[in-house]
Amino acid sequence: MTTSANNSVKVLRARLDTELTERAAKGRSRELRAAQPVRVNLADNDYLGLASDKKLRDAVQVALEHGPVSASSSPLVRGYQEIHAKLETDLRQWHDFPSGLVWNSGFAANQAVLGTLAAPGDLIFADRLVHHSLIAGILKSGAKFTRFPHNDLDALKVLLEKNSEPGRTVWVVTESVYSMDGDSPDLVRLAALKRQFNFIWMLDEAHALGWYGVQGQGRAAEAGVAKDVDILIGTFGKALGGMGAYSLFREPVLREALINLSGEFIYSTYLSPLLAAAAMAAIVRVRESAPQANDWRKQSQRLREALIAAGWETVAGDSPIVPVIIGPDEKVLSLGGHLAAQGYAVGTIRPPTVPEGTARLRLSLKAGTPWSDLEGLLKEMAAWRKTVEVRS
């Protein structure tokens, strides 16, 4: 038995060594490093700067003084507490949905909703660039799965027309702001397709919350189509400055099904009450700051225009996510390293997260970032490019 076990360990180690060596040879090894202080942070998703907001800190302190640090059990044992119920109410009222559920993470929410509610007989059409968590949920469900070209609603319409069988459950899965390109689909047209073909529309608003909507509820609310969305996914870990996620439903039976059938919900210790308190405070702060959102979006457009004028490739839009397409992996790592040395934290994104040949900087704008910091970034990018040109 011991020899067999040792052999198994050796086989596993050899396989993993091979996989990691191959990844390293392509320059795509990932390393876990503690984040260091920087002068200008354009790397994380704290779009509104709420992760360090005093009102969120105060809310956490009050919760700490009056309750436990941990939920200490799954939600169906004792982990679901009064503060979680209050948070659900706040979310439903904010988005005007009749039903909702809080989750430990956006990944868990997406995987659980699709993996539990969709079934092998269903048909799911998903945008080619939806997040990995959505793909994981779709694959878990066993439903028939087709990707349509990114933001190509003509292609989606053709698929819907060809698959309009009576009695079949059809899903369409999209995001409102895509995490690597920072662009958006035509939500008004998606809503029109929903009304025409009567599919279940699941919309992930993770990167739109706080940046769009009269009260910061996201792009569906801003476009006036939130009532056409059947399932809305949001997160607390981006613009809301905390951790965790939520799903909202037009049909309350979906909530009941997840409570009874979703392993991600049933078998995990629930979200910390402290994080629930932070999320409630964040919703208030987002609603207060929403009137300023037009200024943030104008700055996003201005940066994109400046990048294009300087000869860089980006994607049109006004979201907080601004990609700069570099191409080769080694170049984006070189540029990212240069910027880091100058005090700029940026995301350096490589395949397979993005398509081959499209390695990029991912700039995450912040509501409070002064334009002078972005001008400095552009100057450092230009300085790096001159160095590269001299070498070549």
pLDDT exceeds 60 at position 159: yes
In a 3-state reduction of DSSP, which class is residue 63? helix
- Percent of the chain at pLDDT above 70? 98
Q: How many whole angstroms separate alpha carbon 189 and alpha carbon 225?
A: 10
Among residues 84, 95, 194, 238, the one annotated as catalytic is 238
pLDDT of residue 33: 86
Note the pLDDT of residue 283: 98
Q: What is the pLDDT of residue 34?
A: 86
- pLDDT for 27 equals 80
Q: Which 8-state DSSP code applies to residue 166?
A: T
Identify the CA nearest to 339 among candidates 65, 9, 43, 116.
43
Q: Is 151 one of the catalytic residues?
A: no
The verdict on whether 392 is a catalytic residue reads no
Q: What is the average pLDDT value for the chain, to the nearest integer?
A: 95
Contact 173, 134 (CB under 8 A): yes
Instruction: Give the mean pLDDT of 234-255.
Output: 98
Across the strands, what pairs with 363?
A: 322
Evaluate if residue 171 carries a pLDDT over 70.
yes
The yes-or-no verdict on residue 223 having pLDDT over 60 is yes
Helix (H, G, I), strand (E, B) or coil at 230: coil
pLDDT at residue 164 tops 90 = no
Q: Is 45 a catalytic residue?
A: yes
Q: What is the distance in angstroms between the CA of the first residue and the CA of the last residue of the chain?
A: 58
Lowest mean pLDDT among 22-26, 126-130, 133-137, 342-346: 22-26
Predicted structure pTM score = 0.93
**Candidates 46, 127, 204, 230; catalytic one:** 204
207 tagged catalytic: yes
Active-site residue, selected from the candidate residues 88, 90, 175, 183: 175
In the set 131, 183, 184, 228, the catalytic residue is 131
User: Active-site residue 175, yes or no?
Assistant: yes
Reported as type and span, the H/E element at residue 84 is helix 82-95
| 131 belongs to the catalytic site | yes
Q: What is the pLDDT of residue 392?
A: 55
Task: Report pLDDT digits (tens) over 279-336.
Answer: 999 999 999 999 999 999 999 999 999 999 999 999 999 999 999 999 999 999 999 9
